[in-house]
Structure formats: structure tokens, C-alpha cells
């Protein structure tokens, strides 16, 4: 048997050492991921097959929780539809706004740095505070929005912003866009700064106008970043619950409930001391929502699989 060259043995040993090191370096994160992400997910899936209130011993329910969600709980599906309405409205407003501001503020000028900071600042405000501030702004009796509309004679009577589904959803969307556009603007700026300047210089030499530069160079080269930003946007928006809980708590008539706030209320009694938590059913709702989210993201990834393949 022919022995391996000395050099190859040495390389193989270095490779093995590197591999061990890599795993050791990854271990803390992987252990954390397994403990705090995978393990709870497994438990959640397990509980979805049980009737469990957190107090009495759990009893096996088979498919009952899933059957109940699909056949006897129209409110869950209403909340899912409302979630998509809010996500679409947010998408239409937030992404173009973030992109527009990113393009405008994408240079090293000091004033741009100031505005980037200003526009990013809503992101760091707590969602609870955002909810309270927007409630006070849109408060029907003395809220500043109604006072402003009356001052400009756009309305004569106070508008009850929380009195019907569409107005209340609008307030949720406005508050959510205000809180979220800053971080997306920063992501877009990062993407813009990765576009090679030489391409713009070539375009300048060719006498390309600004609009063509934007549509033919900026947008295509920003597409890979935009694809990730939009995927994160969709996932985070579908998972939204805190703002709805603080701002409307699902009112009026439960019509502004989103899928996560609805599921949350079965997990936690949320002030209803006389009602029993339904961990099994809420776990089933969480599993169904996760599957829907996976389908939406999978569809998005498939539809955008060729986006950014410009080389």
C-alpha cells in the first residue's frame, strides 16, 4: 500500500483541527439554539396534541385542537385575514418610504448622518410607548390628530379613530410604519453602499439620467439586499402582536385582532382571571400560524429566486 505524501497528511491533520475548533466555537450558539429555540418548539408541537390548562394534568386530544381551529373558530381566521391586511398596507407604505429615504440619505454629508439618526430613532422606542403615544394622538375626544383636522376644516366633528375596524387598522399601520421604517432605511443604505461606485461612474460617462440610474443600476444591484429586507419584513409583520395589544387590544369588536395577539390570549389569561388558559389549543394555533408563515416565506423565496442573479 502506497503511503500518502507527508504534505497531504499534514494538511489533513490541520483540516481536522480546524473542524474541531469550528465545532467548539459554534457550540455555545448551537447549545443555546437547541435549548432555547428547538426544545420549546418541540414542546409547543407536543402540547398542541393535548388539552392542557397549566394546572390540571394534560389529557391527550389527538387532532381535536386542530379540528377546532379549522372548523369551529372563525375568529382565528378573521384575525389571520386582518394580519394580512395590515402586512400588505404596511408593505405598501413602509418599504418604498424606507427605500426612498435610503437613496436620498445615501452619502457622507453630515446633514445626511443627522437625518439618518433622526429617522432611525423611532426604532429604539419601546412598542408600549409607541402604542400609548399614538393612542393619545388619535384619541377621539381631545387627540391632536382630530384637533389638527378640525383646525384645517377637514372635519367638523371628532373622528372616532378606534370606533371602526378600518380606521383602527389604519392607526395600527401608521404607528407600525413609524416605528419600523428607520431600521429598513438603514438596511437599504447598507445595501446601497455595497454597490460599486465604478458602475455609476460608467453610467455618468454614458450620460445616463438619474431615473435610469435608479431603475437600471440601483434597483437591480440592491435586489439581493431588498429580498432579505422584505423577507424579514414579512416575517416580523406577521408576528406582530405587542403594538395591537397596547393600541387597540383587538377592539372594536375584536376586529383588529391579529393572529399572534389572538393566539397570545389563549396562552395567557391577560386580565381575564375567571378564564382558564388553553395551552394545548393555543399551541395548535401557533403551529398552524407557523406553517402558514413557512408557506408564505417559501412562496416568497420561490417567486424571488431569480432576483439579484445579474452576474
Partner 1 sequence: MHSQTMIRVGPACLGLTLVMGILSGCTGSSEGNSAKESGNGSNGSNTKMETVRVWTNDGAYKPIMDPIIEEYNKGEGLKDGIRIEYKVFGSDYNDVLKVALAAGQAPELYKFVGTVKEPFISSGWMLPIDDLPGGPDFLKTYKDILINGYTTFGGKSYSVPYKVLSTKFMYNKDLLKKSGFNTPPATWDEVVSYAKKITNDNKGSAYGYGVHLKDSASSGKWYFASQFASSVGHMGYDFTKGKFAFSDFTPNIQKILQMKADGSIFPGGEGMDNDALMAQFAAGRIAMLPGVNWDVSALDKFWKEIGTHFELGVVDTPVMDPAKKYKNYAQIADALCIGPSAKNMPEKAMKVYELFHSDKVLKDIQNNEVDFIARQDIQAQAPASFKKAGTAEFGDTSNSYLALTPPDGGITVEGQPYQNTIVNLIAGPANADVAAVLADLDKRYNSALDKAVNGGMDMSLYVNKNWDTRSK
Chain contacts with partner 1 (rule: CB under 8 A): 17-18, 20-21, 24-28, 31-32, 51, 53-56, 68, 72-73, 75, 135, 138-141, 157-158, 160-163, 168, 247-255, 268-278
Q: Residues 286, 290, 294, CA angle at the centre, nearest 5°? A: 175
Q: By C-beta, is 21 or 193 nearer to partner 1?
A: 21
Q: Are 66 and 288 in contact (CB under 8 A)?
A: yes
Q: By C-beta, is 32 or 298 nearer to partner 1?
A: 32
Half-sphere exposure of 250 (CA within 13 A, CB side): 17
**Least separation, in Å, of the C-beta of 139 and partner 1?**
6
**Least separation, in Å, of the C-beta of 19 and partner 1?**
11
The candidate with the shortest Cα–Cα distance to 247, out of 125, 161, 184, 150, is 161
Number of other residues whose CB lies within 10 A of the CB of residue 216? 13
**Least separation, in Å, of the C-beta of 49 and partner 1?**
16
Q: By C-beta, is 18 or 201 nearer to partner 1?
A: 18
**Least separation, in Å, of the C-beta of 287 and partner 1?**
18
Q: By C-beta, is 32 or 96 nearer to partner 1?
A: 32
**Least separation, in Å, of the C-beta of 72 and partner 1?**
6
DSSP assignments along 189-231, one per residue: HHHHHTS-HHHHHHHHHTT--HHHIIIIIIHHHHHHHHHHHHH
Q: By C-beta, is 40 or 253 nearer to partner 1?
A: 253
Residue 98 burial (CB < 10 Å; 0-12/13-18/19+)? Answer: buried
Amino acid at each position: 500500500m502506497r503511503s500518502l505524501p507527508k504534505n497531504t497528511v499534514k494538511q489533513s491533520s490541520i483540516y481536522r483541527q480546524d473542524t474541531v475548533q469550528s465545532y467548539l466555537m459554534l457550540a455555545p450558539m448551537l447549545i443555546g439554539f437547541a435549548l432555547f429555540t428547538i426544545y420549546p418548539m418541540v414542546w409547543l408541537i407536543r402540547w398542541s396534541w393535548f388539552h392542557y390548562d397549566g394546572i390540571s394534568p394534560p389529557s391527550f386530544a389527538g387532532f381535536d385542537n386542530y379540528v377546532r381551529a379549522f372548523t369551529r373558530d372563525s375568529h382565528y381566521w378573521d384575525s389571520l385575514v386582518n394580519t394580512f391586511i395590515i402586512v400588505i398596507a404596511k408593505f405598501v407604505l413602509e418599504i418604498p418610504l424606507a427605500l426612498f429615504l435610503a437613496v436620498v440619505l445615501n452619502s457622507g454629508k453630515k446633514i445626511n448622518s443627522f437625518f439618518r439618526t433622526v429617522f432611525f430613532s423611532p426604532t429604539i422606542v419601546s412598542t408600549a410607548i409607541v402604542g400609548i403615544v399614538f393612542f393619545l394622538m388619535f384619541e377621539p375626544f381631545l387627540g391632536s390628530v382630530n384637533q389638527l383636522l378640525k383646525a384645517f376644516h377637514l372635519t367638523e366633528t371628532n373622528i372616532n379613530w378606534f370606533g371602526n375596524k378600518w380606521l383602527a387598522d389604519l392607526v395600527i399601520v401608521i404607528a407600525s410604519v413609524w416605528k419600523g421604517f428607520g431600521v429598513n432605511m438603514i438596511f437599504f443604505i447598507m445595501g446601497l453602499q455595497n454597490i460599486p461606485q465604478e458602475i455609476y461612474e460608467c453610467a455618468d460617462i454614458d450620460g445616463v439620467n438619474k431615473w435610469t440610474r435608479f431603475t437600471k443600476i440601483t434597483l437591480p444591484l440592491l435586489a439581493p439586499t431588498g429580498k432579505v429586507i422584505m423577507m424579514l419584513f414579512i416575517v416580523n409583520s406577521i408576528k406582530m402582536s405587542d403594538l395591537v395589544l397596547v393600541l387597540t387590544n383587538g377592539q372594536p369588536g375584536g376586529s383588529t385582532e391579529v393572529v399572534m395577539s389572538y393566539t397570545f390570549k389563549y396562552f395567557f389569561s391577560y386580565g381575564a382571571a375567571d378564564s382558564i388558559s388553553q395551552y394545548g389549543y393555543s399551541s395548535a394555533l401557533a403551529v398552524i400560524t407557523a406553517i402558514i408563515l413557512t408557506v408564505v416565506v417559501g412562496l416568497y423565496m420561490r417567486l424571488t429566486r431569480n432576483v439579484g442573479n445579474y452576474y
